[in-house]
Amino acid sequence: MKALKILVVMVVLTVITGVVVDTYAQCFPGRLFRSSGKFGTNVKVDVTGASDAAFIGRLWDTGNAALANSGLDGPNFGSDCPVADWWLTDGTLRFIDGVVGGGACIMDCPLGDEMTAVIEDYDANGPPGVGGSAYYMGWAVTSTPAEGRYYDYGLVDGIASATTLNMLAFPLADVTASGRTGGNVDVTVDLADQSQMVHTWIGGGVAATSAVVSEWHLMKATGTADPGRLRSNWVKIATIPYVPGGSNKFQAGPCTDTVQEEFLAVGIGFNGGNFGPIDSALVGAAVALECDPFLAQPDDVKQEFKRKPAETELQANPGRSGGRR
């Protein structure tokens, strides 16, 4: 009864005052987030290899993406803070420069101290990316409200002078071994360290890569051709917490179809704090595999999956190349 009386009072107050309390609101005044500008350290990005046209950009409250984000799901990724408004170019390099609560950036104001930014892109051939790869870069910084840049992405990695970072490709599902468990095929996949794709400055220091990349996702597609880089064309078959490189064993499922092919690719779960992992919009290059129906006896099987030579093997291990210049 007491709870009912409180509820009635709240309703009456709302009717009388017309005020509705909302924990989600736009930033006022707006909060500048920037990696390059007139003041502060300037950090820009070399996007060589990427399309630099079909990019997908998202922002969220690092501690809990549910509380404030620019739009996490497709097809309207980042619609509450369009990436074209903050992923800018000087004609050669890209950089971050936007205002949360300004212009078209109408996302809710982050309640926590950190904000994450992630950019994904197709390779130079653009979408749908069949036979190609995808690129990404992740950032996370602690707010600096006393400074001109409320979220200063020029501080990442402890950078103290003008610097150019390289956007790099998603890791390849590098299958190194396979075998059977009953009717299913297990594959061992080497996954490259992602530290060169992640740039942070949290609490006055560089954070672990897992501050942005929290999970590996092994993705699978079955068909006559690689379905492209858009994640929605793939099925997640395994998840493991992010570790900086090393071999990981996954169960890839049945391998009996001699007409269609099996494709594997790597997707990423980005750290969304209390909200949980946020799926990457894209996946890395496909590894084409075919089943060998003649290798039926486990004692005789050395490799149940035979890796098919790729038409365009973009890189032996795309996650290991590149770096800061």
> Rounded CA gap, 226 and 130, in Å?
6
Looking at residue 236, what DSSP letter applies? E
Distance between start and end Cα atoms, the chain: 67
Looking at residue 233, what DSSP letter applies? G
Q: Where are the domains of the chain?
A: 31-308
CB of 243 closer than 8 Å to CB of 212: no
pLDDT digits (tens, 9 = 90+) for 244-300: 766 666 666 666 666 778 899 999 999 999 999 999 999 999 998 766 555 433 333
pLDDT digits (tens, 9 = 90+) for 2-13: 333 333 333 333
pLDDT at 178: 74
pLDDT at 254: 65
> Rounded CA gap, 74 and 52, in Å?
19
Strand pairing class (134-142; 198-201): parallel
Give the mean pLDDT of 309-321.
Answer: 42
Lowest mean pLDDT segment, chosen from 59-63, 77-81, 251-255, 276-280:
251-255
pLDDT at 253: 66
Confidence check: pLDDT of 301 > 60: no
Helices (DSSP H) in 160-244: which residue ranges?
Answer: none
pLDDT at 297: 33
